[in-house]
Amino acid sequence: MRVLLVEDDADLSRRIAASLRTESFVVDIATNGEDAEHAGLTEIFDVAVLDLGLPRKDGISVLKAWREAERGFPVMILTARDGWPDKVSGFKAGADDFMTKPFKVEELVLRLRALVRRATGHASSLVTCGPLVFDAQLGTFQLEGLPLKLTALEWRVLSCLILRREVIVDRRELIERVYEGDAEVDSNSIEVIIARLRRKIGAERIETVRGRGYMLTAAP
């Protein structure tokens, strides 16, 4: 899951990013409204965490620009402003959730996962594909009732595939959701991760669609 974190407090931004990365999120950081708007308009994200009081351009204006451009990723407003008018303005601009500072990072993680799950059309926190079960709230996988051990990169790829089960996921999209923007990515890196996942969950469950990408299926 790739998140755009928009926060101008450098120390807070580092702490949030570190916690999210521990939970296998891919984190891109913007520290002002102009950079945040550009990132949201040009990059692929599963969810965004957006402060309101930003330099150069305020958070509400950034959010309005994203929505006017039909960028549909869910947005969590995270701000020290706790007044009702700020909440109303945020939701009217297109926010999906609202948290005030100070906050618990554990709650932020749970709510971000819920936003991503609902945005991909899953009402329940348990997402299944054949014998594979993903608890989108806890971030855990089970295969045939047993815990599935995955590396961080494997988790990112498999969570992306299962939230879009039976749908072809473009290879380029997988790369953008798995690696942070400044990472050096080998040309065959995704293929290596897919090969490892096939050994763990069954080769027949991840289809390669030549020239397009990969698809997780419930095939036996």
Residue where a domain stops, chosen among 119, 147, 163: 119
Do 94 and 202 belong to one domain? no
CATH number at 209 reads: 1.10.10.10
Rounded to an integer, the average pLDDT of 42-69 is 94
Give the rounded percent of residues in the chain with a pLDDT score beyond 70.
Answer: 96
Going 185 to 137 to 98 to 116, the CA torsion angle's sign is positive
pLDDT band at 86 (very low <50, low <70, confident <90, very high): confident
Q: Is the predicted pLDDT of residue 87 greater than 90, yes or no?
A: no
Tokens of residue 18, six digits: 């570190």
d(CA 111, CA 107): 6
Cβ-based neighbours of 107, under 8 Å, separated by 6 or more: 99
Do 115 and 130 belong to one domain? no
3-state secondary structure the chain: CEEEEECCCHHHHHHHHHHHHHCCCEEEEECCHHHHHHHHHHCCCCEEEECCCCCCCCHHHHHHHHHHCCCCCCEEEEECCCCHHHHHHHHHHCCCEEEECCCCHHHHHHHHHHHHHHHCCCCCCEEEECCEEEECCCCEEEECCEECCCCHHHHHHHHHHHHCCCCCEEHHHHHHHHCCCCCCCCCCHHHHHHHHHHHHHCHHHEEEECCCEEEECCCC
In the prediction, which pLDDT does 211 show? 85
d(CA 180, CA 3): 10
Q: Is the predicted pLDDT of residue 57 greater than 80, yes or no?
A: yes
Do 146 and 185 belong to one domain? yes
Instruction: State in Å, rounded, how far the first CA of the chain is from the last one.
Output: 27
Per-residue model confidence as pLDDT tens digits over 178-216: 887 656 667 688 899 999 999 999 999 999 998 889 999
Quote the number of domains for the chain. Answer: 2
pLDDT band at 141 (very low <50, low <70, confident <90, very high): very high
Rounded to an integer, the average pLDDT of 92-116 is 92
Do 180 and 132 belong to one domain? yes
Pairing of strands 140-143, 146-147: antiparallel
Residue 160 belongs to domain spanning: 126-216
Contact 108, 99 (CB under 8 A): yes
Residue where a domain stops, chosen among 100, 119, 138: 119
Per-residue model confidence as pLDDT tens digits over 5-16: 999 999 999 999
Do 109 and 162 belong to one domain? no
Rounded to an integer, the average pLDDT of 164-185 is 82
Burial of 105 per CB tally in 10 Å (0-12, 13-18, 19+): middle
Do 10 and 89 belong to one domain? yes
Out of 62-66, 135-139, 144-148, 153-157, pick the least confident: 135-139
Q: Is the predicted pLDDT of residue 20 greater than 70, yes or no?
A: yes
Tokens of residue 19, six digits: 């916690």
Do 67 and 159 belong to one domain? no
Residue where a domain stops, chosen among 119, 152, 178: 119
Do 19 and 52 belong to one domain? yes
Mean pLDDT of the chain, nearest integer: 91
In the prediction, which pLDDT does 187 show? 67
